[in-house]
Amino acid sequence: MKRALLLFSLLASSAAHAQGSPRTVTIGLGYIPNVQFTPFYVADKLGYYRAEGVNVKFQHGAVSELMPLLLQGKLDFVVGDPEDAVFARNQGAPVRYVMAMYQKSPVTVFSTKPLNRAADLKGKTLGIPGTFGSSYAATRALLDAAGLREGRDVRLASIGFTQLEAVRAGRVDAAVGYLNNEVVGLRGAGERVYTLDLSAAYPMVGVGLITLDKTLGGDLARKVVRASQRGLKFTAGDPARAFRLAQPVFGSGGGTLEVLRASVPLMQSAYTRANGLGASDPAAWTKAVAALVKQGSLPAGTKANTFYTNSLISKTLR
């Protein structure tokens, strides 16, 4: 018996050595533990990363703090806006956006006063978090498409992340926020909310996975993306169960099921039905990058495919 047990132990040890120990991967998640990161929490809870031979750890913080850690090799991936990758790479950082959690940016202009088209903003004060990021890029594209000039036709007021309170208190006429955040909160409080769709002017994909160029050389990135795609698929298919699985991570103050349900439509599109969850629509990238060039944020002639790749996306996961 002892010999049999010893033989079994040696064989198991040999098999484990042959397969290799699970690779520990750290993913930086912008902000704090929150319902918006449910697909990643679910992929961990259900063992999708482990099935790929990956032991995942999450590190929360501001994306402005996480991106330097990615460049220093202290993080393997960061979940951030596509603009985070665009502007970093434009400045020489070897980063690339590799999987879209949202097919459409959740950025919207919202108000509790009638608001039906961009022209209705003329003569109004529009609250923005600040002159940075996806919300500012989308706002500038919207105003440009409507022939409205910043400052002359529409006053932009930097109000930080107080959009809901600022609109409710009447400190601004409208604000730039998120369909799956402030809009959900106001409607949940029983208020009528008017929104403007910015995607025609700025059809950029939303938050997603960003990694270093050198990580694309092996199979690690493909494994992490595949597991994350499975998390996306599970969340989109059963948001209520996904919420229950993920809530122990983000707690009772980290967001509601209503927020997650409002996020699910952003995860899917006609493009993903044909090309797999997490794929980026090249046409959307091309138009959005053209808008950034027009705004002077990127040099003339910049090519959209410089900043992203769909090469890691599994088309069988739809």
Contact 124, 239 (CB under 8 A): no
Residue 14: inside a domain: no
Structure confidence at residue 16 as a pLDDT band (50, 70, 90) = very low
Residue 33: inside a domain: yes
Tell which of 153, 173, 197 closes a domain. 197
The whole-number pLDDT of residue 10 equals 35
299, 169: one domain: no
Contact 285, 307 (CB under 8 A): yes
The whole-number pLDDT of residue 130 equals 94
CA dihedral 79, 47, 255, 243 (to 10 degrees): 140
Residue 17: inside a domain: no
126, 97: one domain: no
Helix axes 38-45, 239-250, angle to 10 degrees: 90
Residue 43: inside a domain: yes
- Mean pLDDT (the chain) is 92
What is the C-alpha to C-alpha distance for residues 190 and 192, in angstroms, rounded to an integer? 7
The whole-number pLDDT of residue 20 equals 62
Lowest mean per-residue pLDDT among 6-20, 137-151, 214-228, 292-306: 6-20
Tell which of 152, 168, 197 closes a domain. 197
116, 99: one domain: no
241, 252: one domain: yes
Into how many domains does the chain fold? 2
The whole-number pLDDT of residue 14 equals 36
**Among residues of the chain, what percentage have pLDDT more than 90?**
90
- The pLDDT of 65-89, averaged and rounded, is 97
| 3-class SS of residue 149 | coil
CA neighbor of 247 nearest in space, from 255, 238, 258: 255
pLDDT digits (tens, 9 = 90+) for 158-172: 999 999 999 999 999
For residue 286, CA distances in Å to 19, 274, 282, 310 come to 41, 19, 6, 14
177, 248: one domain: no
Residue 186: inside a domain: yes
215, 92: one domain: yes
14 vs 127: which has the higher pLDDT: 127
The whole-number pLDDT of residue 12 equals 37
The whole-number pLDDT of residue 21 equals 80
The sheet carrying 155-158 orders its strands as: 155-158, 125-128, 174-178, 107-111, 194-197
Q: How do beta strands 23-30 and 107-111 pair? A: unpaired
**pLDDT reading at 29 higher than 60:** yes
Domain that holds residue 49: 23-104+204-306
Structure confidence at residue 269 as a pLDDT band (50, 70, 90) = very high
Contact 22, 53 (CB under 8 A): yes
247, 292: one domain: yes
178, 96: one domain: no
**pLDDT reading at 11 higher than 50:** no
> Structure pTM?
0.90
pLDDT digits (tens, 9 = 90+) for 228-251: 999 999 999 999 999 999 999 999
Collect all residues with Cβ–Cβ distance below 8 Å to 282 and sequence separation of at least 6: 304, 305, 310
Helical ranges in 213-256 per DSSP H: 220-237, 239-250
What's the half-sphere exposure (Cβ side, CA atoms, 13 Å) at 49?
22
Instruction: Give buried/exposed letters for 81-117 (b at 16+ CB in 10 A, else e).
Output: bbbbbbbbbeeebebbbbbbbbbbbbbbbbbeeebee
218, 143: one domain: no
What is the C-alpha to C-alpha distance for residues 147 and 245, in angstroms, rounded to an integer? 46
**pLDDT reading at 17 higher than 90:** no
Contact 198, 109 (CB under 8 A): yes
227, 86: one domain: yes
Residue 2: inside a domain: no
Residue 5: inside a domain: no
Residue 9: inside a domain: no
The whole-number pLDDT of residue 4 equals 39
230, 191: one domain: no
CA neighbor of 129 nearest in space, from 188, 37, 62: 62
Lowest mean per-residue pLDDT among 11-15, 24-28, 294-298: 11-15
DSSP code of 150? B
Phi, psi torsion values for 97, nearest 5 degrees: -85, 125
**pLDDT reading at 1 higher than 90:** no
CATH of the domain at 302: 3.40.190.10
Tell which of 197, 224, 252 closes a domain. 197
139, 281: one domain: no
Contact 137, 225 (CB under 8 A): no
